[in-house]
Amino acid sequence: MFSVEDPGFQGFSGGNMTRKISIFSVSGIFSVSGIFGFLGFGALCCAMPVMAQSLALEGASEAADAAEAEPPLALPEAAPGQAPEGSVGGMGDINIYPRRIVMDQRARVASVGLYNKMPYEGEYEISLANMVMTDTGRIIPFSNLPEGLDTSKVKTASDMLRWSPRRVLLLGSEAQTVRIMARPPADLPDGEYRAHFTVVSVPSGVDDGLSIDDAIGGEEQVAGKVGVTIRPRFGISIPVIVRVGETTLELGLTDFAFSKGEGGAQVTLTINRSGTRSAYGDLIVTAPGQDEPLVVARGVGVYPEIASRKVQLAVNPAFDLGKLRSGMTVTATFIDDDVTPGVTLARQTFVVP
């Protein structure tokens, strides 16, 4: 499935050795754009006690900073087992509101709502990751970059962000507020900086078990009692954008194409971006004489590290394709839902091939 939302929807999958062997494997993140993994578990396990103490003190200090900044913004209420309108959900039981965070010189503190939609409790880890967007809209973390992918144009925000809490236990249908604070250095150049706020479920009921060496050399191997149980880890992420000073943006639309395939009718467009900030808004394609638009795509994002993004969009089911003919002129419009909501950032007419 192709998602045109501001990139952030991620699902996590992973596994554990349980039943005599209980070892966390490297977790993966399943997204609409690919699969990637988080590394570094082994390094944490091998850390010296002094380093562990230092990290613990640093984390506590950062949490205190975020807790003492300003009162958290009010988040929308939701009925038990529900999430508020405008939230984003993944493959698991957690929803996040809002679907993106934008901070600037006027607002350096933000609140994120976590909503457990299930009737049973869940535990979640909260972190920040740096990611890059490709020209097809894929969002890939720095921890699992394919060979040759350039990240030099990504301005990361993870080092200037503090958040609290970093781990939560939510009862069934319970919500939790997480506060994020930005502390950009005074000499930071103008521009847009970004990290991705990530919430991952923590598997429950995992015992310590045996080590792999013990299991291999022990009676369990002889008796054939060593088994593997897969425990999925689901999660979701949203972008956290920090804008410093003045930023600029210009958009254009090109390369319109229309096709019919096994998956149904589709429209392809290229969004061309220039300037120092990202684009975020709605892409709408209309045809003359039609009450319903040909395409409606809400929350399309184009990040500053790419000059263009190619989007492939399903045709609106309510649109009468029988009235769309070769040679007809259609109009594509990109409407801002960020700095100047409702303002048209780009409009272009195309002839249906």
DSSP secondary structure letters along 58-88: HHHHHHHHHHHSSPPPP-----TT---TT-E
Q: Find, among 256, 284, 287, the residue nearest to 269 by Cα.
A: 256
Biggest CA pair distance of the chain: 76
Task: Select the CATH number that applies to the domain covering 249-351 from these four: 2.60.40.420, 3.40.190.10, 2.60.40.10, 2.120.10.30.
Answer: 2.60.40.10
| pLDDT band at residue 194 under the 50/70/90 scheme | very high
Dihedral of CA 337/115/180/306: which sign?
Answer: negative
Coil/strand/helix, residue 139: strand
Query: Which pLDDT score is estimated for 56?
Result: 34
N-terminal to C-terminal alpha carbon distance within the chain: 26
Every domain of the chain with CATH number 2.60.40.10 lies at 10-244, 249-351
DSSP 42: H
Query: Taking 90 as the threshold, does the pLDDT of residue 79 lie above it?
Result: no
CA distance 313 to 269: 8
Query: Which pLDDT score is estimated for 50?
Result: 30
Continuous segment of H or E residues that includes residue 306: none
pTM over 0.95: no
Query: Which pLDDT score is estimated for 41?
Result: 29
Query: Which pLDDT score is estimated for 83?
Result: 82
Query: Which pLDDT score is estimated for 203?
Result: 82
Query: Taking 70 as the threshold, does the pLDDT of residue 107 lie above it?
Result: yes
DSSP 21: B
Whole-number CA gyration radius for the chain: 23
What's the average model confidence in pLDDT over 344-348?
98
Averaged confidence pLDDT in the chain: 78
CA distance 138 to 117: 27
Q: Find, among 237, 63, 240, 242, the residue nearest to 163 by Cα.
A: 63
DSSP 209: B
Q: Find, among 228, 120, 244, the residue nearest to 171 by Cα.
A: 120
Query: Taking 70 as the threshold, does the pLDDT of residue 47 lie above it?
Result: no
Q: Which two tokens stand for residue 197?
A: 């706020």
What's the average model confidence in pLDDT over 187-196?
97
Does domain 10-244 fall into CATH 2.60.40.420?
no
